Structure 1
Amino acid sequence: MAHDAPALAGRGLHKRFQIKGVAEPTRALDDVTLEVPAGKLTALVGPDGAGKTTLLRLAAGLMSADEGSLSVLGIDVAKDPQSVQDRISYMPQRFGLYEDLSVQENLDLYADLHGVSRSVRRERYARLMEMTDLGRFTDRPAGKLSGGMKQKLGLACTLVRSPALLLLDEPTVGVDPLSRRELWEIVQQLVDDEQLSVIVSTAYLDEAERCAQVFVLQGGKLIAQGAPGEIRDKAKDLCFIATPPKGTAPRTLQAKLLDAPASIIDAVPQGGEVRFIRKPDANAASVDALLEGAPVESVPARLEDGFMVLLRTQQAKAKAAPTELAATAPRGESKDDVVIEVKDLVRKFGDFTAVASTSFDVRRGEIFGLLGPNGAGKTTTFRMLCGLLPASSGFLQVAGVNLRTARAHARSKIGYVSQKFALYGNLTVAENLHFFGGAYGLRGNRLHDRMQTVLQQFDLVGQEQATSGQLPGGFKQRLAMATGLLHEPEILFLDEPTSGTDPLARREFWRRITALAEAGVTIIITTHFMEEAEYCDRIVIQDAGKLLAIGTPQQVRVQAGSAADSRLSMEEAFIDIVTQAREAKRAPAQGAHA
């Protein structure tokens, strides 16, 4: 296929939005000039609010730039958006599936909307069902699909016609590693087989590493572009792995390194160790003092390392470490105390068993991770632990309260941050804090003092009068965290809190969580970012309602077949454990049919 024009070409693009309650307009795009090659897989990466979604919406003809020019497939999108929309397919972050309709009915609906003929759709459906492995589920309602399957159906609906350009806005947000890998295999197959042009925005830098070209946005400006190798080279010869001393958690060493911005650009737990990026001009003695004799070796740079160097360099001034979080656990209580106890926990929905006889306990100040593929039962387990869903049977005690008999009392001791922004979008930041503080029983000076404290802790000072629903995703997440911690709970439940956030925001989030755990707050978290499992003291991996693994991250890596001295990533361990369990389950079934 010949490509006479670039997939996208923008010159001097500007786009501003006015957020109610904020005096200055937000510069979503600020003098962006770029050219995206046709027939390639291209990534847009950058922190939350960088302008990635705005650029994709401009390319899709859904909004127009305030200044500058933009052509898509050689067409001026401002002058002729319909011609552009006739040749592209766009999958937004929240793709609109009709959950009461079946998989097939959703496909038919989108084919009708795009005017796809009966003869063309027969061939197209067959190809899409083969690629997505949804052929077995054509009669199933979309609402009954797992998160990963919904994303694959959304992609299939987007592709019911064969576009010249595919725009994907964070297509793998909220998707487990197995489903994420399958989605990328589908996209890569389209690029290889059909020379399709694909532009994808993503918060996962390992995904961007697959692309031919990467564009890095920050604060509405284009700060870097090039092949992944060119971005990686920003961190060349600056990346190291440190092995923490015995008895020191990787997250503790990571926090110490992050709190030394004069010497360290970035640090993140990895495989039971800590990967860090040293500043080029860092004093060697200062770095050695931070490491306290921990063994160190040099490692090759990754795309994420180059990305973090770019972002830290662009920051006008180094951010201060998060405000120290005061201890919230009752004085005199030991960190060895069991604050959550689960025995033979079962949850059924009719004949379907979502959670099957699960048992574990969690200690005070522990960070405990619930991991599993979409549809594994972890969210159901999570909701039972929070008191949002009653168990069908089994014993469940949280903060010394039996949840089967006193859920309301237990809820007064816990904080909860949901996966989706669950605050009141039409209220300001201050109004949300005031409302939820009152719901938690805070009044007068106590409420005022706690509001001021969390506004400072979560960098929300100056945003008090901003309408919550119009805030960028990263600000919404910080507001949700501030609200969940207003009443100083003993236990904090976090349901995929970093879904869709960039590496920089994830580092800042986990620095706060580490401080909370050190203060005695117990953290229960679900996540699809497997690197985040490295922050946990212990994790469980569930699938099909059953507990497959439990232990420290290192113990789980060993269960997956890792030698004690190897560096198996948590994502590799997760995929190995889930795949082995599924294969073992299929083997008897296949034997029975033999």
Structure 2
Amino acid sequence: MPIITARNISKSFVNNTAICNLNLVINKGKITGLVGPDGAGKTTLIRLITGLLDSDEGELKVLDYTLPKEAKKVQEEIGYMPQKFGLYEDLTVLENLKLYANLQSIEKSKQQNRIQQLLEFINLKDFTSFLAKDLSGGMKQKLGLACALIKKPKLLLLDEPGVGVDPISRKELWAIVNSLIQDNVSVVWSTAYLDEAALCDEVVLLNEGKILFNGIPADLSKTMDGKVFKLVGNIKDRRKTLRLALKNDNVKDGVILGDSIKLTCKDKSLLPNLNDIEAENCRYENIKANFEDGFMNILNGNFNGESKLAQQIGTLEESKEKYLIEASNLTKKFGSFIATNNVNFKIKRGEIFGFLGPNGAGKSTTFKMLCGLMKPTSGTAEVLGMNLEKSSYKARKKIGYMSQKFSLYGDISVYENLKFFAGVYGLRGKSKTEKIENMIKIFELEKYRKIASKTLPLGYKQRLSLACAVMHDPVVLFLDEPTSGIDPQTRREFWNHIYAMVQKGMTIMVTTHFMDEAEYCDRIALIYKGKAIALDTPHNLIQKVSQNATMEETFIELIKREDNA
């Protein structure tokens, strides 16, 4: 039975058609995934369904009410969690829930019982006195979900609730939402995580406001049967081999999988000759296609492995230091709370070093200490042989930093942000103008040149952040969740840039919640409760758990073992 019916609906903004003549039926009692590239129209569609936006034309019915005429009735019976959920940071968990109960006009006599039910449901009953700003990312999302559920809805709309949330918290969120289905709540879940999309009952794949696929996720995966292969064996340089393979016209997509490489090609006979891609002692094996393979294919993803960003980087300055990033007994305390606890690691030139851990584990705190943005309580953080807390402006110019939260100036335009950061990094005159124009072209920001950066789609915000972090050709680059919430196509672009910059001699330290990205790194440190509990190559870490384990299973198992210890 339909819970949402859309007939020929369209919605346009200035110079942009967000939804184009869209027809859609979403059925009751299911989890329906909403996926697509950045700017595909997912958020606009959700806001139309909530009645917060009016369509320009067409007919939209939600819960048998006609929008926009009966928007108030719809809003009384739905729960909505937008991308930036409006938690009140200076209120406690309990105070936030009471506030939303009052906003939803829940009778005072029934509030306490409903709030206790939800605290049990989201497993936050021991955190009622915590301020919202002090919660981890996963806890904030669970509290946001509880606020959206305070008045039990018939329809729950979630706009990318898993963004910036670690795999353990995402599993918890998923379990919570699954249990809602048993309670007769229908769910529309917009997501950038395609492993989540594959778990949905049905999926709607949007691009440029149009539906490219609507059906069972497994049906999209099946379209790629016999077209996905793994290159295994003694691969000398995975990144170079992948780049060479992607240059072949028959190879449409490719990613690193630990010690192997996954390639998409319409027939095994058309795969590149092993000698041509410097993989002489290797072989191709058929592997099962997944939802992401079907997603990339339907969007005509076709990557050649080249990075225009790396091509315009000059010769990077050689360092006399063997290790370019070094943490020695690094510790940071906030009162009695230990955010980073005696952490040690060393990173060599030209290495991609992954820094993994659950929300609140201490990753961003460690990053800030390494960048000289935060003073350690004890221990040392050195980059290029210098302590950045005490180092000169000249030393800082050799380092790039892309923070976890969008840290650009939201009220000024894309061009003005680039101009400002170019000046901060000491670029002047012709070289400054050329670099800004290069970044606009490389990251396809031309149509947003004069737009305030706070209004950009998330993927374009991340592109702008990366452009500002690398425009001065840094020797060392810190990337704190650079791909959080962006679609697989843009993630491929980012990693193409990362691989190519490392080939130029750049050293990169990166945090991520995408477990497949962890396998793109040379080495990984897993941090938990402020401690580095594991440090090794992705392949070796997986072997410690099981030969057939995924990176996500490895991540969860190593944390379980630490808890048991």
Shorter-chain TM-score category? Answer: over 0.9
For residues 343 and 328 of structure 1, what CA distance do their matches in structure 2 show? 31
Question: Do residues 126 (structure 1) and 116 (structure 2) align?
Answer: yes
- Alignment match, 1:75: 65
User: Which stretches in structure 2 are left out of the alignment for 5+ residues?
Assistant: none
Matches within 5 A, 1:399-478: 399-406=384-391, 408-461=393-446, 463-478=448-463
For residues 533 and 354 of structure 1, what CA distance do their matches in structure 2 show? 22
Classify the secondary structure of the residue corresponding to 2:508: strand
| Amino acid in structure 1 at the alignment position of 2:283 | P
For residues 77 and 178 of structure 1, what CA distance do their matches in structure 2 show? 38
For residues 296 and 109 of structure 1, what CA distance do their matches in structure 2 show? 58
Per-residue Cα deviation, 1:367-399 (whole angstroms, up to 9, x for no partner): 111111011011100111111111111122112
Question: Do residues 182 (structure 1) and 163 (structure 2) align?
Answer: no
**Residue 87 of structure 1, CA deviation:** 0.6
Q: Pick from 21, 24, 34 the counterpart of residue 24 of structure 2.
A: 34
**Residue 428 of structure 1, CA deviation:** 2.5
- Alignment match, 1:583: 564
Question: Do residues 6 (structure 1) and 2 (structure 2) align?
Answer: yes
For residues 190 and 21 of structure 2, what CA distance do their matches in structure 1 show? 19
Per-residue Cα deviation, 1:406-462 (whole angstroms, up to 9, x for no partner): 264432211111222222233222222111111111111121222233233323345
For residues 226 and 9 of structure 1, what CA distance do their matches in structure 2 show? 15
Report which stretch shifted further, 109-118 or 321-330. Answer: 321-330
For residues 393 and 122 of structure 2, what CA distance do their matches in structure 1 show? 43
Matches within 5 A, 1:108-147: 108-147=98-137
**Residue 35 of structure 1, CA deviation:** 0.2
| Amino acid in structure 2 at the alignment position of 1:345 | L
Report which stretch shifted further, 62-71 or 229-238. Answer: 229-238
For residues 497 and 205 of structure 1, what CA distance do their matches in structure 2 show? 17
Report which stretch shifted further, 423-432 or 568-577. Answer: 423-432
Contact 1:539/1:550, CA 8 A, preserved across alignment: yes
- Alignment match, 1:569: 550
For residues 332 and 142 of structure 1, what CA distance do their matches in structure 2 show? 45
CA 1:291–1:33 in structure 2 vs 1: closer, same or farther (change >3 Å)? farther
CA 1:450–1:285 in structure 2 vs 1: closer, same or farther (change >3 Å)? closer
Question: Do residues 55 (structure 1) and 55 (structure 2) align?
Answer: no
Contact 1:263/1:286, CA 8 A, preserved across alignment: no
For residues 226 and 351 of structure 1, what CA distance do their matches in structure 2 show? 51
Classify the secondary structure of the residue corresponding to 1:401: coil
Question: Do residues 167 (structure 1) and 152 (structure 2) align?
Answer: no
Contact 1:103/1:138, CA 8 A, preserved across alignment: yes
| Amino acid in structure 2 at the alignment position of 1:101 | L
Matches within 5 A, 1:442-521: 442-461=427-446, 463-521=448-506
Contact 2:388/2:396, CA 8 A, preserved across alignment: no
Per-residue Cα deviation, 1:49-70 (whole angstroms, up to 9, x for no partner): 1100100000001001111111
**Residue 120 of structure 1, CA deviation:** 3.6
Report which stretch shifted further, 214-223 or 282-291. Answer: 282-291
For residues 225 and 197 of structure 1, what CA distance do their matches in structure 2 show? 17
For residues 272 and 104 of structure 2, what CA distance do their matches in structure 1 show? 64
For residues 142 and 114 of structure 2, what CA distance do their matches in structure 1 show? 15
Report how many residues are paired: 563
Question: Do residues 232 (structure 1) and 217 (structure 2) align?
Answer: no
Classify the secondary structure of the residue corresponding to 2:87: coil
- Alignment match, 1:589: none
Classify the secondary structure of the residue corresponding to 1:274: strand
- Alignment match, 2:311: 325
- Alignment match, 2:340: 355
For residues 558 and 320 of structure 1, what CA distance do their matches in structure 2 show? 29
Contact 1:229/1:303, CA 8 A, preserved across alignment: yes
Classify the secondary structure of the residue corresponding to 2:288: coil
Contact 1:329/1:521, CA 8 A, preserved across alignment: no
For residues 329 and 357 of structure 1, what CA distance do their matches in structure 2 show? 35
CA 1:207–1:332 in structure 2 vs 1: closer, same or farther (change >3 Å)? closer
Contact 2:46/2:157, CA 8 A, preserved across alignment: yes
- Alignment match, 1:295: 283
For residues 513 and 486 of structure 2, what CA distance do their matches in structure 1 show? 12
CA 1:526–1:285 in structure 2 vs 1: closer, same or farther (change >3 Å)? closer
User: Which stretches in structure 1 are left out of the alignment for 5+ residues?
Assistant: 19-24, 585-594
For residues 352 and 117 of structure 2, what CA distance do their matches in structure 1 show? 44
**Residue 284 of structure 1, CA deviation:** 4.5
Classify the secondary structure of the residue corresponding to 1:568: coil
Q: Pick from 264, 267, 287 the counterpart of residue 251 of structure 2.
A: 264
Q: Pick from 259, 283, 286 the counterpart of residue 270 of structure 2.
A: 283
CA 1:320–1:518 in structure 2 vs 1: closer, same or farther (change >3 Å)? closer
- Alignment match, 1:366: 351
**Residue 104 of structure 1, CA deviation:** 1.0
**Residue 518 of structure 1, CA deviation:** 0.5
- Alignment match, 1:210: 199
Per-residue Cα deviation, 1:158-202 (whole angstroms, up to 9, x for no partner): 11111000000000100000001000000001112x121000000
Contact 1:345/1:393, CA 8 A, preserved across alignment: yes
Report which stretch shifted further, 322-331 or 449-458. Answer: 322-331
RMSD, matched Cα: 2.1
Q: Pick from 79, 83, 88 the counterpart of residue 78 of structure 2.
A: 88
CA 1:413–1:333 in structure 2 vs 1: closer, same or farther (change >3 Å)? closer
| Amino acid in structure 1 at the alignment position of 2:562 | A
| Amino acid in structure 2 at the alignment position of 1:325 | Q
**Residue 328 of structure 1, CA deviation:** 4.8
Contact 1:232/1:301, CA 8 A, preserved across alignment: yes
| Amino acid in structure 1 at the alignment position of 2:122 | T
For residues 482 and 490 of structure 2, what CA distance do their matches in structure 1 show? 11
Contact 1:271/1:567, CA 8 A, preserved across alignment: no
Identical residues among aligned pairs (%): 44
Per-residue Cα deviation, 1:529-586 (whole angstroms, up to 9, x for no partner): 1111111111111111111011111122233x22xxx2322111111111111122xx
Using the size of structure 1 for normalisation, the TM-score is: 0.90
| Amino acid in structure 2 at the alignment position of 1:303 | F
CA 1:469–1:102 in structure 2 vs 1: closer, same or farther (change >3 Å)? closer
Classify the secondary structure of the residue corresponding to 2:519: helix
For residues 513 and 135 of structure 1, what CA distance do their matches in structure 2 show? 42
**Residue 223 of structure 1, CA deviation:** 0.8
**Residue 126 of structure 1, CA deviation:** 3.1
Contact 2:257/2:520, CA 8 A, preserved across alignment: no
For residues 85 and 304 of structure 2, what CA distance do their matches in structure 1 show? 35
For residues 460 and 258 of structure 1, what CA distance do their matches in structure 2 show? 25
**Residue 477 of structure 1, CA deviation:** 1.5
- Alignment match, 1:312: 300
| Amino acid in structure 1 at the alignment position of 2:263 | F
**Residue 236 of structure 1, CA deviation:** 1.6
Using the size of structure 2 for normalisation, the TM-score is: 0.95
Contact 2:194/2:291, CA 8 A, preserved across alignment: yes
